[in-house]
Amino acid sequence: MADENRIDKKSQQGEWSSRFAFILAATGSAVGLGNIWKFPYITGENGGGAFVLVYLLCVLLIGIPLMMAEIMLGRRSKENPVHTMELLTAEANADKNWHYLGWMGIAAGFLILSYYSVIAGWSTAYVFKAFFGSFSGASPSEVKALFDDFVASPMSLIFWHTVFMLATMIIVARGIEKGFEKSVGLLMPGLFALMILLVGYAMTTDGYFKGLDFLFKPDFSKLTADSVLVAMGQAFFSLSLGMGAIMCYGSYLPKDVSIAKASMIIAGADTVVALLAGIAIFPIVFSNGLEPNSGPGLVFETLPLAFGNMFGGWLFGVLFFIALVFAALSSSISLVEPAVAWLIENKGFSREKACLWSGLVAWVLGLGTVFSFNAWKNVKLFERNFFELIDYLTANLMLPIGGFCIAVFAGWIMKQEHSKEELDLPGEHLSFQVWKFLVSYIAPAAVFLVFLNVVGVL
Ligand code: PFF
C-alpha cells in the first residue's frame, strides 16, 4: 500500500538538510534544562560523586545503544512514533500492542513539556532580571530572596510559562526546515562558550576543589536505591530517550548518515554540557556556604552570584540566560513533535492547528507545576507535590519503561537483518555485536533490576 504515499507525505514535511542539521537538532533536543538546571540540583540532592558515576554508566551502557535504536526505528519507518511501532511490528510479524509504546511516548512528552515550560519560563524571566542588573554585587541571601520572591508569585510564573509555551508553538508551527535548524544552530555554540567561561570563574573561587570533590569523588554510602533510579531516569531525560522524540527526529534522517557516530556525538556533547554545569555550580555553592541540596532553585541561586561578581558579568549573565532559553526551546520543540506529527499524519490536522491544541493542553497541565512552588507547595501525594510527582512519573518511570520496551523491540523483535541494514554496521563486526548485546541484554536488565531494587525486591 501506502509505502509510496508515506514517503510523499513525509517529503511534504521535509527531511534534514544534512547530517550536520540532524546532529544539531538532536543535540538541541538533548541539551537543555536537563543539563543545566536538573543535573546539578539532583546531583546535589543525591550526594554527588557516586550519583554522577551511576549516571555516566547509564549514559554509556543504556543511553548510547538506546539512542541508536530509537534513531534506527524512526528512520526505518519514516513515521511518527505511534505509526512507527505499528509499521515495524507489522514488518516483524509481532504483536500489535507495541503501538501503545508510541502512545506512552506522546503522553510523556506532554507531561514533561508542561513543567519544562514553567522552568524555561523562569529562565526567560532571568534574562530580564540579568538585564536590569538585579544580580549586580548581590549577596547569596539577596540572590536567594530574589528567587524565592519570584516563585512565590503564581501570576508571574504563569506569565513566563505562557510566553515560553507560545514561543515553542510558533517555532513548531513553522515546520522543521525553517523552524528548528536556524534557532538551534545559533545559540548552541554560544551556550557552550558561556559554560566554559563560568567554569573559568568557578576556578577562581575558593570552593573550586571542594566542588570538584563533591562531583567526582564517589561516596557510595550516599547511594540509595532511589538515587540509582533518579540517575538512570536522568540519563533518559537528558538524552531525550524513551518517549519517541529522538525516534521522531530519526524519521527525518537521510539514509546515508551513520547512526552510531551521530549517537556518540550527541550523547558526548550532552554529557559534557551537564558536567560543565556541575563544575561551574558546585564551587559557587561551597565558596558561598550554600547547600548543595537546595532543590530546583539551585542554578538560579548560584549562577547569578557568579554574574553579579565577575568582570563583564552583566553582559555574560544576559547572554547566558538567553542561551539557556534557546537550549530549552530546542528541547521543548522535540517534546511536542511526536504529538504534532501524529496529529498531522493521522488526524489530518494542519501543522498550526496541531500546535495550537498540543500547546493548550500542555499549558493547562503546567499550571499544576506553577502552583507547586506557591499555593500548592504543601499539597502532597506520596510525599511529593504536583511538580515532583509529574517529574518522578515521567523521568523515573515512563521514560525508563519506554526505553525498556524500545530496547526489547530493537534487540528481540525487529529482524536482525533490518537492524544491520539500518545501522550499517557489518553483522560480523564487533561493533554490531556490542550494540546488539547492550540493547538486548544490558539495557533491559538494568532497567528491570533498578525497578526491582526500588520496590525492595532486591
Ligand atoms: N533532554 C532535554 C533536556 O535535557 O533538557 C529534555 C527532554 C527533551 C526530555 C525531549 C525528553 C525529550 F523527549
The arithmetic mean of pLDDT across residues 261-286, rounded, is: 96
Three cell numbers, residue 320: 547566558
Q: Are 14 and 177 in contact (CB under 8 A)?
A: yes
pLDDT band at 286 (very low <50, low <70, confident <90, very high): very high
The arithmetic mean of pLDDT across residues 432-442, rounded, is: 95
**Residue 271 domain flag:** yes
Q: Is the pLDDT of residue 395 over 70?
A: yes
**Residue 395 domain flag:** no
Q: Which of 168, 99, 27, 110 is nearest to 339 (CA)?
A: 110
The SS3 assignment for 348 reads coil
pLDDT band at 159 (very low <50, low <70, confident <90, very high): very high
**Residue 318 domain flag:** yes
Q: Are 150 and 127 in contact (CB under 8 A)?
A: no
**Residue 448 domain flag:** no
Q: Does 243 contact ligand 1 (Cβ within 6 A)?
A: yes
**Residue 418 domain flag:** no
Specify the CATH number for the domain of residue 237: 1.10.4160.10
Q: Does 234 contact ligand 1 (Cβ within 6 A)?
A: no
Q: Does 30 contact ligand 1 (Cβ within 6 A)?
A: yes
Pocket test for ligand 1, best of 112, 272, 325 (most atoms within 8 A of CB): 112
Nearest-atom number in ligand 1 for the CA of 238 is: 4
Question: How do residues 145-158 score in pLDDT, each as one tens digit?
Answer: 999 999 999 999 99
Question: How do residues 161-176 score in pLDDT, each as one tens digit?
Answer: 999 999 999 888 886 5
Q: What proportion of the chain, given as a percentage, has pLDDT over 90?
A: 72
**Residue 130 domain flag:** yes
Q: Which residues contact 87 (CB under 8 A, 6 or more apart)?
A: 77, 79
Q: Does 271 contact ligand 1 (Cβ within 6 A)?
A: no
Question: How do residues 25-49 score in pLDDT, each as one tens digit?
Answer: 899 999 999 999 999 999 999 999 9
Question: What's the pLDDT score for residue 7?
Answer: 33
**Residue 381 domain flag:** no
The more confidently predicted of residues 450 and 2 is 450
Rounded to 5 degrees, what angle do the CA atoms 205, 208, 214 make? 145
Rounded to 5 degrees, what angle do the CA atoms 92, 93, 98 make? 80
Q: Are 288 and 276 in contact (CB under 8 A)?
A: no
Q: Cα(241) to centroid of ligand 1, in Å?
A: 8
Nearest-atom number in ligand 1 for the CA of 33 is: 5
The arithmetic mean of pLDDT across residues 406-414, rounded, is: 94
Q: What proportion of the chain, given as a percentage, has pLDDT over 70?
A: 93
The arithmetic mean of pLDDT across residues 122-137, rounded, is: 96
The arithmetic mean of pLDDT across residues 229-252, rounded, is: 94
The arithmetic mean of pLDDT across residues 307-325, rounded, is: 93
pLDDT band at 9 (very low <50, low <70, confident <90, very high): very low
Pocket test for ligand 1, best of 59, 184, 234, 238 (most atoms within 8 A of CB): 238
Q: How many whole angstroms separate alpha carbon 278 and alpha carbon 272?
A: 10
What are the angstrom distances between the C-alpha of 301 and each of 8, 23, 118, 287?
A: 50, 32, 17, 13
The more confidently predicted of residues 397 and 22 is 397
The arithmetic mean of pLDDT across residues 116-127, rounded, is: 98
**Residue 199 domain flag:** yes
Residue with cell 558561598: 288
Question: What's the pLDDT score for residue 94?
Answer: 86
Residue with cell 501524529: 342
Quote the domain boundaries for residue 166.
Answer: 3-369
Backbone angles phi, psi at 17, to 5 degrees: -75, -20
**Angle formed by the axes of helices 399-408 and 99-131, nearest 10°:** 140
DSSP 49-96: HHHHHHHHHHIIIIIHHHHHHHHHHHHHHTS-HHHHHHHHHHHTT--G
The arithmetic mean of pLDDT across residues 309-327, rounded, is: 93
Question: Mean of the per-residue pLDDT values for the chain?
Answer: 91
On the CB side of 439, how many CA atoms lie within 13 Å of its CA?
27
Looking at the structure of the chain, the number of domains it has is 1
Pocket test for ligand 1, best of 104, 164, 331, 358 (most atoms within 8 A of CB): 331
Q: Is the pLDDT of residue 12 over 60?
A: no
Q: Does 117 contact ligand 1 (Cβ within 6 A)?
A: no
Q: Are 82 and 301 in contact (CB under 8 A)?
A: no
Tell me how far the alpha carbon of residue 195 is from its chain's centroid.
18
The SS3 assignment for 138 reads coil
Q: Does 34 contact ligand 1 (Cβ within 6 A)?
A: yes
